Amino acid sequence: MRHLAARASAVVAALCVVLAACGASAAAKGTAGIRPFSLVQVGKTHLHLAADGRSATVQVETNPPTVCAIPYGKTASLGSIATDPNMGGTAISEHTVVLGGLTPGTTYRYKLTAIDAQGIVFQTRGLATFTTPHEAVAHQRDVAIGAKVVAVSSQYSYAYRAANAVDGNLSTQWSSDGDGNRAFITIQLEREYKITGVAFITREMSDGSAITKTFAVVVDGHRRYGPFRAGTPTDPRVARVSFTARTLRFEVVTSTGGNTGAAEVEAFSPN
């Protein structure tokens, strides 16, 4: 076990060295051996910008499993780096990387970089860009982050516990245990808030199941709003509402069935 852990740590360390070299300059030497990221990428890259303009989440799948990291920054020299917290010192296939510490209304550049079990490095050619939303037009604060979960239809396991839906981290998920359209989660906010928008960021399985299509919100046990279209990490689809509440029950209305759940449930407030 110690040998495997040391090997995994060495792979991560090697990747960080490569990333530092690659992010230093577009003209840096020693990049000839780096292969195109497209050789390991499965499907498209999904980018979700946080409504407050202070973070971005990149989701990408690789085959074979890789250790993945993303150097990013305001200029071509990049300067920051983020990794997938779900790697746990080993290679995985489905990556969710959060780029933090961003400034609203600012253009950033980034590269996708990965290393496989043979030590081969893969990287996107050129720099991709995105621009964070301006604070003036961003959604209000998500007051559901850190809320208390007071009820849930079920949870698949501790790793997919209900609290994952209110931790502010799109790389963690709440999964029900096969509840399909009967899945729900009830949260209690820190206090009563004026709510201006709600969102249900669906989880999904690679076989097309567990995708929530629409959801509803029950406010303080009696007022029901919706159904609204559920969102994804790249398209959160915040539904505009106007009510005051402390307890919110998010209900799946329509879905593709199976272990439905959410990466996040969100409630935005101006205060």
Separation between Cα atoms, residue 43 and residue 95, nearest integer Å? 12
Structure confidence at residue 3 (pLDDT): 40
DSSP state of 186: E
Structure confidence at residue 134 (pLDDT): 64
One domain for residues 263 and 153:
yes
Per-residue pLDDT of 54-78, as tens digits, reads 788 899 999 999 999 999 999 999 9
Q: What's the structural domain count of the chain?
A: 2
Structure confidence at residue 20 (pLDDT): 44
Show the low-confidence residues of the chain (pLDDT under 50): 1-14, 16-30, 136-137, 139
One domain for residues 122 and 222:
no
Q: Which ranges in the chain belong to alpha helices (H)?
A: 2-24
One domain for residues 98 and 9:
yes
Of 88, 120, 137, which marks where a domain is finished? 137
One domain for residues 107 and 170:
no
Its domain, for residue 202, covers 141-269
One domain for residues 58 and 123:
yes
Beta strands (DSSP E) in the chain are: 35-36, 41-49, 56-73, 80-83, 92-99, 107-110, 113-115, 121-123, 128-131, 141-142, 148-152, 174-175, 184-202, 212-219, 223-229, 239-255, 261-269
Of 92, 110, 137, which marks where a domain is finished? 137
Model pTM above 0.75: no
Please name the residues in contact with 215: beta carbons below 8 A apart, sequence gap of 6 or more: 200, 226, 227, 228, 230, 250, 251, 252, 253
Q: Residue 253 sits in a domain of what CATH number?
A: 2.60.120.260
Structure confidence at residue 236 (pLDDT): 74
Q: Given the structure tokens 């209304």, which residue do they identify?
A: 105
Separation between Cα atoms, residue 17 and residue 216, nearest integer Å? 47
One domain for residues 124 and 147:
no
One domain for residues 7 and 132:
yes
Structure confidence at residue 33 (pLDDT): 81
One domain for residues 95 and 29:
yes
One domain for residues 121 and 191:
no
Structure confidence at residue 135 (pLDDT): 57
Structure confidence at residue 181 (pLDDT): 97
- Percent pLDDT > 70 in the chain is 85
One domain for residues 151 and 265:
yes
Name the token pair of 250.
């998010």
One domain for residues 35 and 111:
yes
Structure confidence at residue 133 (pLDDT): 73
Structure confidence at residue 230 (pLDDT): 95
